[in-house]
Amino acid sequence: MKIAMSCAFLGSVLGRTSALTSSGGVLARPLPSFLSAASPPLRRRSSRLSSAVAPSAVAEEGTFADDDRSIYATEAEALSKIRSPFLQTMRDRGFLHQCTGLAELDALLAGEAEEGGAAAGPVAAYLGFDATADSLHVGSLLQIMILRHYQRSGHKPIVLIGGGTSKVGDPTGKDESRKLLTEETIQKNADGISAVFQKFLQFGDGPTDAAMVNNDDWLSELGYLQFLRDYGTAFTINRMMSFESVKQRMARDSPLSFLEFNYMILQAYDFLELHRRLGVRLQLGGSDQWGNMVSGVELGRKADRAKLFAVTAPLVTTADGKKMGKTEGGAIWLNADRLSEYDYWQFWRNTADADVGRFLRLFTELPLERVAELEKLTGAQINDAKIVLADEATRLLHGDACLTNIRETVKSMFTAKGKGEGDTSSLPRIFVTREELETEGGVRFADLFLKLELASSKKDARRLIQGGGAKMEGEKIQDQNGAMTLECFGDKSEVTLRAGKKRAGVVELQK
């Protein structure tokens, strides 16, 4: 019997019972002002929690508090003394939020010998990404940058694709259960999100080369009863109910299924399994995963007497309090087939003034001295810093080659007043046929704006037209129910549509 099947069978248990639960210093060094490679053989594991661990240690609960306070406030003095290049980079660029055993982790990453052992070499760390869509969006970019910094600091990053945990669904930050995905969809999504890591990390067989693994390889092979007997005593309902992801769902009187409740256990087990397979010592992630990550640290201690660590980064929001990666036009996808290089560049170019310095630290590799210079720009000059941010962020994801076309497109968009003149190669593009344009009055503009992702829905597109923000070849589109016909092309093979001043797309006549 597999875990996923058993969880589905028991899915209503917690839902029926949840209704009964009530909702219920000064630094020595100043801190910044902003706040697939093949796996080695699996080591033989015990069928029970390690009997060599002292009972008092196994029984110990709550070693690490589910504390949402930033490490910049709670461990300021210790932060000023860290020596490892990775943690220094994390500290100085604003990536840190929480950490278990900061001093010990710093010593490990600095290459110091642990008690009774040889000096540490490259340390393996992992970060997980569930396969919930066929592309990651810019909200995941912070985590990818952390893995990049980790590798550049001389250590080994492991990308964990959550093919197994995606069958359960992470309840963190959700008011309702995620839609259960089919195995075919999960595999398609896993394939879609995997490619982006090649752009940021070096993969191979070397000691600091990145590796990619999928937790479906071990989670789908677990037997339910044996798993409960081996690891069930390492988790208590008391502790699990104290996690923020659970408390928030209960406070909203939203059902939390037994299936979702198991997610934190599976994530904790991932850490243990990766430690056994690849020698992973550190889990990286967002601060919303802190409780799950601490559970993995504690499971490693209880099961294998392993000294594991967890480090979280803050969840990034914009200056106006909105979640990073979402815009009125939809998600800012990292895959070029979901979002054009031009639109990606424009996303960064449109950064709010108050966010420019912080985003330059987090999403580019510019030296901090250069970031400090750009932060001093005011008035209209801040736009120069925004262009640098857009160029650097786009270069990391899409490479240098696209920047020339993007600059030409930007120039043509504003000097030609959007009349379709100049280079449009960087703009998102869709195709229409003569038959579509000549039948039933043509193709409605609302449909075209939606396909180009210049609007989030047909209703949004019609609202854009009504407000005067929709243009074709520089001329306002007057009729919200209007359509593009063959006559709109004249003697040209493409037409440019614009949504507002900075977003545009091309409709090309298919030959």
For the residues 302-310, what does the mean pLDDT come to? 96
457 contacts 484 by C-beta, under 8 angstroms = no
Residue among 483, 474, 498, 493 nearest 441 (CA):
483
pLDDT band at 440 (very low <50, low <70, confident <90, very high): confident
Nearest to 32 by CA among 95, 102, 103, 104: 95
End-to-end CA distance of the chain: 55
pLDDT of 268 > 80? The answer is yes
- The pLDDT, as a whole number, for residue 48 is 47
Is 166 in a helix, a strand, or coil? helix
Is the pLDDT at 196 greater than 90, yes or no?
yes
pLDDT at 173 over 70: no
| Tens digits of residue pLDDT in 31-51 | 444 443 333 433 434 444 543
For residue 51, what pLDDT is reported?
36
Assess whether pLDDT exceeds 90 at residue 23: no
pLDDT band, very low/low/confident/very high, at 376 (cuts 50, 70, 90):
very high
Question: Residue 158's beta-bridge partner residues?
Answer: 126, 211
| Rounded Cα distance, 129 and 201, in Å | 15
- C-alpha pair distances (Å), 349 with each of 29, 115, 154, 224, 225: 33, 50, 32, 50, 54
Quote the percentage of the chain above a pLDDT of 90: 50
146-168 in b/e form (b: 16+ CB < 10 A) is bbbbbbbbbbbbbbbbbbbbbbb
Asked if residue 368 lies in contact with residue 93, where contact means CB atoms within 8 angstroms, the answer is yes
- 45 versus 353: the higher-pLDDT residue is 353
**What's the pTM?**
0.75
Mean pLDDT of the region 128-156? 96
Q: Taking residues 500-505, what's their average pLDDT? A: 81
99: three-class secondary structure by DSSP: strand
Helix ranges, 350-457 (H): 356-363, 368-375, 382-398, 401-415, 434-438, 445-451
Q: How far is CA 346 from CA 251, 341, 448, in A?
A: 39, 9, 20
Q: Which of 35-39, 68-72, 269-273, 328-332 has the lowest mean pLDDT?
A: 35-39
What are the strands of the beta sheet with 503-509, ordered from one edge?
A: 429-432, 503-509, 494-499, 470-472, 475-476
| Contacts with 24 (C-beta within 8 Å, 6 or more apart), sequence order | 247, 250, 251
- Which is higher by pLDDT, 463 or 51? 463
Which stretch of 40-44, 47-51, 123-127, 436-440 has the lowest confidence by average pLDDT?
40-44
Which pLDDT score is estimated for 237?
Answer: 82
The answer to whether 96 and 311 are in contact (CB under 8 A) is: yes
Q: Measure the CA–CA gap between 180 and 166, rounded to whole angstroms.
A: 8
CA–CA gap between residue 470 and residue 478 (Å, rounded): 8
